[in-house]
C-alpha cells in the first residue's frame, strides 16, 4: 500500500525560491494536514503532488513509484478543490461520471460507482441537477463524490471547507473524518484553519516560509511545539509568550521574567542545556493557568485589562508591562472580575514551554 514521500523538493517561481530541500513522508492510511498561513507553500506542495505544478528539483514517490514526471491523470489521485470546480454545464451525475473519464471502465461499473458514491454522500435526489442549482454544502458533497468514484488510495483536499458557513463547516468536517475512517485511504489536506487541522488530522505538518516547522500528531504539535512559530500559530487564544532570562542552570534551573518574577524550571525537561544569562521565551497556554493562584512554578498577581466571553469559555486579559496575558477562565468566574482589579494566577509545572530567544527553537 502506498506511502507518499517528498524527497529533497525544490520549487522556484522564476528567481523566487519558495521551497528548498523539503522532505516529508506520509504513511498509508494517514490523514495528513498541511497547515500554515497564506503563502507558506502548502498549496504549492499539494499541486506538485497532484501534478498540476512542475517540481524544480527533487522526487515525489507514491509507494515505490516515482511519479514526479507523470501526468496528473496517471498518478492515481483524486482532488477536491477549494471552489469545488464542478463543471457548470454538466449535471451532478455528469460531473461524477467525468471523474472517471481517464479510467477505461464499462458502463455498468461506471453506474455502480456513481450510485455508490451518491448513496454514501446522500446526494441521490440531486443527481440530475446542475451545480448552479445546488447549495454550497451540496456542491461540496458532489465535489467529494467526484473524487470518491475514482476509487483511488490517495485523496487531496485543497482548503475544501473555506467557502462554507461556520455551521456547515463543522458538519462537513465530521463527514470527511468519517469518510476517512470508512475508506481507509490516505488523505493530504491543505488548510489554514487550525481547528480543521486539530480535529481531522492524524498528523500535521505546520509550514511557514516554505519550511516544515513541525511534523507530528495534533497532540505533539499542540503540547510540545517545536519552535516559536508553531507555538504562536496553534491555539486560540494564542499562547502567551514572555521574555525571560536563565538565572541558574543545572538541576535547580530557574529563570526570571522581565518584571523579576522567578520561574522554577527544576521540573522542566530540557532538550538543550541552558546557559546562565541566556535570553529565553517562556510560552504559557491560556487554559493551563490556575485561577486559584496557588502552587505552580510561576505565580503572578496582575491588574485585569479586559475580559471577553466566547460561548463556553471566557478569557481574562491581564496587564503585564506593555503586554497582555490571556488566561482562560470559567464564564461565572470571569463575570465577577472587574477591570483594574488585581487577579492572581499560577502556572503548573510540566505545562510550560521554553524557547531559545535567538533561534526560536524549543529548549
Partner 1 sequence: MSTMTDNFVPRRKKRITGRSIAILAFLAMCAAFFCIPLYVVIVTSFKTMDQIRLGEIFSLPVTWTLEPWREAWSEACSGIKCEGVSAGFFASLKILFPSLILSLSVSSVTGYALALWNVRWAGTFMFILFMCAFVPFQIIMIPMIILTGKIGVYGTIWGVAVVHAVLALPILTLIFRNFYKDIPGEIMQAAIMDSGSFWRIYREIILPMSANIFIVVLILQITSIWNDFLIGITFGGLNNKPMTVILANTVISATGESSYNVDMAAALLTAIPPLLIYFVLGKFFVQGITAGAIKG
Cβ proximity to partner 1, 100 vs 344, nearer residue:
100
Asked if residue 77 binds partner 1 (CB under 8 A), the reply is yes
Does 73 bind partner 1 (CB under 8 A)? Our answer is yes
Q: Indicate whether 107 belongs to the interface with partner 1 (CB under 8 A).
A: no
Instruction: Tell me the number of residues near partner 1 by CB under 8 A.
Output: 28
Nearer to partner 1 (CB atom), residue 83 or residue 361? 83
16 scored as a contact of partner 1 (CB under 8 A): no
Q: Is the CB of 121 or the CB of 265 nearer to partner 1? A: 121
Q: How far is the CB of 73 from partner 1 (least distance, A)?
A: 4
Residue 36 contacts partner 1 per CB under 8 A: no
Q: Which residue bears the cell 521551497? A: 19
Cβ-based nearer residue to partner 1, 84 or 222: 84
Q: Is 86 in the site for partner 1 (CB under 8 A)?
A: yes
| Residue 50 sits in the site that holds partner 1 (CB under 8 A) | yes
Could you say which of 52, 105, 110, 305 contacts partner 1 (CB under 8 A)? 52
Shortest Cβ distance from residue 204 to partner 1 (Å)? Answer: 24
> Is-contact 147 120, C-beta < 8 A?
no
CA distances from 78 to 59, 71, 93, 135, 157 (A): 20, 13, 17, 22, 9
Residue choice 14, 15, 64, 88 for contact with partner 1 (CB under 8 A): 88
Residue among 84 and 229 whose Cβ is closer to partner 1: 84
Q: Does 146 bind partner 1 (CB under 8 A)?
A: yes
* 78 contributes a contact to partner 1 by CB under 8 A: yes
Q: What residues contact 79, with CB distance under 8 A and at least 6 apart?
A: 50, 147, 155, 156, 157, 158
Q: Is 83 in the site for partner 1 (CB under 8 A)?
A: yes
Options 23, 25, 89, 178; binder of partner 1; rule CB under 8 A: 89
Asked if 98 is part of the footprint of partner 1 (rule: CB under 8 A), the reply reads yes
Q: Between residues 66 and 74, which has the closer beta carbon with respect to partner 1? A: 74
Instruction: Decide: is 71 part of the binding site for partner 1 (CB under 8 A).
Output: yes
Task: Between 104 and 167, name the residue whose CB sits nearer to partner 1.
Answer: 104
Q: Does residue 81 touch partner 1 according to CB under 8 A?
A: yes
* Shortest distance (Å) from residue 76 CB to partner 1: 11
Residue 166 and residue 170: Cα distance in Å, rounded? 6
Q: How far is the CB of 144 from partner 1 (least distance, A)?
A: 12
Stretch that binds partner 1, among 18-26, 79-87, 289-297, 344-352 (CB under 8 A): 79-87
Among the listed residues 15, 64, 106, 132, the single contact to partner 1 using CB under 8 A: 132
φ and ψ at residue 276, rounded to 5 degrees? -65, 135
Overall residue count recorded for the chain in this entry: 363
Alpha-carbon distance of 321 to 324, in angstroms, equals 8
Q: Given the complex with partner 1, which of 152 and 226 has the nearer CB atom?
A: 152
Q: Compute the radius of gyration of the chain from its Cα atoms.
A: 24
State the nearest-atom distance from the C-beta of 121 to partner 1, in Å. Answer: 17
Binding site for partner 1 (CB under 8 A): 50-52, 71-74, 77-79, 81-90, 98-102, 131-132, 146
Amino acid at each position: 500500500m502506498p506511502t507518499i514521500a517528498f524527497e529533497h523538493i525544490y520549487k522556484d517561481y522564476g528567481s523566487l525560491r519558495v521551497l528548498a530541500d523539503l522532505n516529508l513522508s506520509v504513511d498509508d492510511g494517514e490523514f495528513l494536514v498541511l497547515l500554515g498561513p497564506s503563502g507558506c507553500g502548502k498549496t504549492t506542495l499539494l499541486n506538485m503532488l497532484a501534478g498540476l505544478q512542475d517540481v524544480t528539483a527533487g522526487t515525489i514517490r507514491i509507494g515505490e513509484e516515482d511519479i514526479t514526471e507523470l501526468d496528473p491523470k496517471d498518478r492515481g489521485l483524486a482532488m477536491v478543490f477549494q471552489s469545488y470546480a464542478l463543471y457548470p454545464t454538466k449535471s451532478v451525475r455528469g460531473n461524477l461520471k467525468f471523474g472517471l473519464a481517464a479510467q477505461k471502465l464499462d458502463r455498468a461499473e461506471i453506474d455502480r460507482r456513481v450510485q455508490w458514491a451518491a448513496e454514501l454522500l446522500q446526494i441521490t435526489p440531486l443527481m440530475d441537477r446542475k451545480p448552479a442549482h445546488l447549495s454550497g454544502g451540496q456542491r461540496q458533497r458532489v465535489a467529494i463524490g467526484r473524487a470518491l468514484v475514482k476509487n483511488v488510495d490517495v485523496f487531496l483536499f485543497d482548503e475544501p471547507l473555506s467557502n462554507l458557513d461556520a455551521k456547515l463547516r463543522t458538519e462537513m468536517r465530521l463527514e470527511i473524518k468519517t469518510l476517512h475512517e470508512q475508506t481507509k485511504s490516505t488523505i493530504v489536506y491543505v488548510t489554514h484553519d487550525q481547528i480543521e487541522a486539530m480535529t481531522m488530522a492524524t498528523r500535521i505538518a505546520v509550514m511557514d516560509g516554505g519550511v516544515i516547522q513541525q511534523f507530528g500528531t495534533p497532540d505533539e504539535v499542540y503540547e510540545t511545539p517545536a519552535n516559536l512559530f508553531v507555538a504562536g500559530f496553534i491555539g486560540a487564544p494564542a499562547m502567551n509568550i514572555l521574555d525571560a532570562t536563565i538565572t541558574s542552570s543545572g538541576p535547580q534551573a530557574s529563570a526570571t521574567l522581565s518584571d523579576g518574577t522567578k520561574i522554577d524550571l527544576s521540573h522542566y525537561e530540557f532538550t538543550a542545556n541552558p546557559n546562565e544569562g541566556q535570553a529565553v521565551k517562556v510560552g504559557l497556554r491560556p487554559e493551563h493557568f490556575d485561577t486559584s493562584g496557588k502552587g505552580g512554578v510561576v505565580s503572578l498577581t496582575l491588574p485585569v485589562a479586559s475580559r471577553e466571553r466566547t460561548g463556553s469559555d471566557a478569557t481574562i486579559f491581564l496587564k503585564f508591562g506593555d503586554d497582555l496575558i490571556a488566561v482562560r477562565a470559567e464564564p461565572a468566574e470571569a463575570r465577577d472580575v472587574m477591570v483594574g482589579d488585581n487577579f492572581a494566577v499560577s502556572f503548573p509545572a510540566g505545562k510550560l514551554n521554553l524557547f531559545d530567544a535567538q533561534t526560536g527553537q524549543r529548549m
